[in-house]
Amino acid sequence: MILAILPIDNGRYGTKEMMEIFSEQKKINYQLEIEGTAAISQSEIGVIPKNIGKRILMTATSGKITAKRIKELEAKSDHDTAALVESLSEKCPKDVRPWIHYGLTSNDLVDTSNSMQMRDALQIIEPKVAKMALILAKRAVRHAKIPAVGRTHGQHASIISFGLKFANWAAEMAKHVERIEEIKKRILICKTLGVVGTGSLMGAKSLEVQKRVSKRLKLYPAEVTTQVVPRERYAEYVFELALIGATLEKIAIEIRNLQRTEIGEVAEQFKKGQMGSSAVPVKKNPIKSERVSSLSKIMRSQIGITFENIPLWHERDLSNSANERFVLPTASILVDEMLETMTKIISNLIVNEQRIVENLYITKGQIFAEFVLEALIKKGVPRFVAYRDVQRVAFEAKDKETQYIDAIKNDKAFLSRLSEKEIDLIFSPERHLGASSAIISNVNKTVHKTVKKFI
C-alpha cells in the first residue's frame, strides 16, 4: 500500500531520473559497485590475490543481487550491509568469498554510496540551475527597457527596469553553478579506510587502494576520516541545495506578489481546462509559485538536521544514520522538483507591460520625487531645503488627490528654479533607468560565461 503522507513516494513530487538515484535497488547497486571496485583495486596492488578482484567485480555488477534477497537476509542479521555482503557471497565461488569486503567496514559502503548519489544528483541539478540562469538572463534582456515600479517596504520607491528583476535572479543562479562546482571536491568523498579510518587490514597500501577506487568512481579520496566521512560535508551539500531553494522561493514570492489583483504585472500561465478555484470560477491563482514557496520551507528544515549530525561520539555512532536516509534524498528530490517547476513558470510567464506602465502612475507621479529632488540640488538648492519642499508639495498633492507634476508646476519653490520643459523631462520614466541596460548586459555575459559548458 502506498501511503499518501509521503508525496515523494507516491510520485506527486520528484522527477523520474532523480527518484531513480534514491531507489532501493539503485542504492544497493552503488554499494555493490564499491565492493567490486575495491576488490579489483586491491588485486591490482597485491592486497588480495590477483585473479580475485575481477571475479568479485563481475558478480557485484551482474544485476543478480536483489533488494528482495538482501531484505530476507537482513531480517535474520538485523544489519543491512552485512546482508548485502552475504548476498554477494552467495553468488560467488567458495574461493572468492574470503576476499569479499576485505579491509572494509559498513560505512565505507554507506558513505561512498552517499557520495555517488550526490554525484549523480548534482549531474541532474547543476544543468537545471544553469538552464534557469539562462532563461532568467534572456528575460532580463527582453524586459530591459520597460520602466517599472521599484518597491521597498512594500511601497513605491523609485523607477526600475523591469528586466533588472530577472537580472538579479539570473546572477544568483549563476552563482549557484559556481558553488556547485566548488563544493564537489569537498562533498564527493570516497572512503575505504576500514573500521576507524586507519586502513588497518590493508596497511600501507590502503591509501593507494582508496585512490584507485576514487578514480574509478569519479570521486575524491578522503584525506582523513574516523569510521565515517566528516558530516560537515553533508551539511554543505544540503545547505547549497537549500540556498538554491531559497533563491527559487525569492523568485516565487515576487511572482506571487506581482500577480496580486491590485498589481497584476505578471501571471503564471493558465492552461486550457485549468481550474483556479473549486468555488470561484474566475480565479487564476499562482499555485506553482506557491508550491515552490512551500517546498522551500521543507528544504530549509533539513539544514538543522545535518548540522546536528556533525558532532558524533568518538570515531562514530549511529545518531546520524537514520535521519540521513530521509535528508539526503528529500533535499535532492525537492530541489529538483522546484527547479522543474520554476523553469516552467519563467518560460511561460505572462508579463502585462500595459499594467506595469499604469502602476507607475498609481501615486499620481509621486514616484518621480527622487528625480525632482535631484534636479533642485543640481540647481544649487541645499539638499534638506529641497527635500522639505519636495515632501511638502507631495503630501499636499496627495491630500488633494492631484497630479504631482501639476502641483510642482504651481508651486513657487519649483517655478523659480525649474522650467516647465525641465519638469516635463523629469516625469519621463524612460530617462530614469540609470545603468540598468549596462548592468543587465553584464549579467547576461557573466551568466553565459558561467554556464557555457551546459549550453
**Is the predicted pLDDT of residue 4 greater than 70, yes or no?**
no
Q: Verify that 378 and 339 share a domain, yes or no.
A: no
**pLDDT at position 395:** 95
Q: Which domain holds residue 304?
A: 106-273+283-359
Q: How confident is the model at residue 85 (pLDDT cuts 50, 70, 90)?
A: very high
> pLDDT, tens digit, for every residue of 335-352?
999 999 999 999 999 999
Q: Residue 380: which CATH number?
A: 1.10.40.30
Cα of 311 vs its chain's centroid, Å: 26
**Contact between residue 140 and residue 164 where contact means Cβ atoms under 8 Å apart:** yes
Question: Is residue 435, in this structure, part of any structural domain at all?
Answer: no
**pLDDT at position 270:** 76
Q: Verify that 149 and 208 share a domain, yes or no.
A: yes
Q: Verify that 337 and 190 share a domain, yes or no.
A: yes
Considering 23, 62, 77, 277, which one is annotated as catalytic? 277
Where is 337: in which H helix or E strand? Answer: helix 321-347
Q: Residue 336: which CATH number?
A: 1.20.200.10
Considering 153, 278, 416, 419, which one is annotated as catalytic? 153
What is the tally of structural domains in the chain? 3
Question: Is residue 297, in this structure, part of any structural domain at all?
Answer: yes
Cα of 14 vs its chain's centroid, Å: 14
Question: Is residue 434, in this structure, part of any structural domain at all?
Answer: no
What would the mean pLDDT of 440-454 be, rounded to a whole number?
96
**Is the predicted pLDDT of residue 5 greater than 90, yes or no?**
no
Identify the residue whose cell numbers are 549511529: 318
Instruction: Give the C-alpha distances (Å, rounded to integers) separating 389 from 153, 270, 407, 424, 453.
Output: 23, 47, 11, 18, 55
What would the mean pLDDT of 261-273 be, rounded to a whole number?
86
**Is the predicted pLDDT of residue 191 greater than 90, yes or no?**
yes
**Is the predicted pLDDT of residue 2 greater than 70, yes or no?**
no
**pLDDT at position 455:** 84
What would the mean pLDDT of 375-395 be, rounded to a whole number?
95
| DSSP letters spanning 171-222 | HHHHHHHHHHHHHHHHHSEE----TTSS-TTTGGGHHHHHHHHHHHHT-EE-
Cα–Cα dist 180/159, whole Å: 34
**Is the predicted pLDDT of residue 353 greater than 60, yes or no?**
yes
**pLDDT at position 82:** 96
**pLDDT at position 368:** 94
Q: Residue 91: which CATH number?
A: 1.10.275.10
Question: Is residue 74, in this structure, part of any structural domain at all?
Answer: yes
Cα–Cα dist 153/130, whole Å: 31
**Is the predicted pLDDT of residue 271 greater than 80, yes or no?**
no
Q: Verify that 139 and 260 share a domain, yes or no.
A: yes
**Contact between residue 187 and residue 233 where contact means Cβ atoms under 8 Å apart:** yes
**Contact between residue 47 and residue 202 where contact means Cβ atoms under 8 Å apart:** yes
> pLDDT, tens digit, for every residue of 211-262?
999 999 999 999 999 999 999 999 999 999 999 999 999 999 999 999 999 9
Q: Verify that 198 and 324 share a domain, yes or no.
A: yes
Question: Where is the domain boundary, 99, 117, 132?
Answer: 99
C-alpha cell at 371: 528625480
C-alpha cell at 417: 528654479
Q: Verify that 180 and 219 share a domain, yes or no.
A: yes
Q: Verify that 165 and 298 share a domain, yes or no.
A: yes
Cα–Cα dist 88/95, whole Å: 13
**pLDDT at position 284:** 78
**pLDDT at position 275:** 56
**Is the predicted pLDDT of residue 1 greater than 80, yes or no?**
no
Q: Verify that 332 and 185 share a domain, yes or no.
A: yes
Cα–Cα dist 218/204, whole Å: 23
Share of the chain above pLDDT 90, in %: 92
Q: Verify that 115 and 180 share a domain, yes or no.
A: yes
Question: Is residue 169, in this structure, part of any structural domain at all?
Answer: yes
- The number of beta carbons lying within 10 Å of the beta carbon of residue 425 is 13
Query: What's the whole-number average pLDDT of the chain?
Result: 94
Question: Is residue 438, in this structure, part of any structural domain at all?
Answer: no
Q: Is 163 helix (H, G, I), strand (E, B) or coil?
A: helix
What would the mean pLDDT of 24-53 be, rounded to a whole number?
97
Please enumerate in sequence order all residues whose Cβ is within 8 A of that of 324, keeping only pairs 6 or more positions apart, or say none: 114, 234, 309
**Contact between residue 56 and residue 36 where contact means Cβ atoms under 8 Å apart:** yes
**pLDDT at position 281:** 61
Q: Is 153 a catalytic residue?
A: yes
Q: Is 62 a catalytic residue?
A: no
Q: Verify that 266 and 194 share a domain, yes or no.
A: yes
**pLDDT at position 369:** 93
**Which has more pLDDT, 101 or 1?**
101
Q: Verify that 287 and 383 share a domain, yes or no.
A: no
> pLDDT, tens digit, for every residue of 104-146?
999 999 999 999 999 999 999 999 999 999 999 999 999 999 9
Question: Would the pTM count as exceeding 0.85?
Answer: yes
Amino acid at 106: S
Q: Verify that 177 and 65 share a domain, yes or no.
A: no
Q: How many residues does the chain have?
A: 455
C-alpha cell at 441: 548586459
**pLDDT at position 7:** 72
Q: How confident is the model at residue 54 (pLDDT cuts 50, 70, 90)?
A: very high
Q: How confident is the model at residue 447 (pLDDT cuts 50, 70, 90)?
A: very high
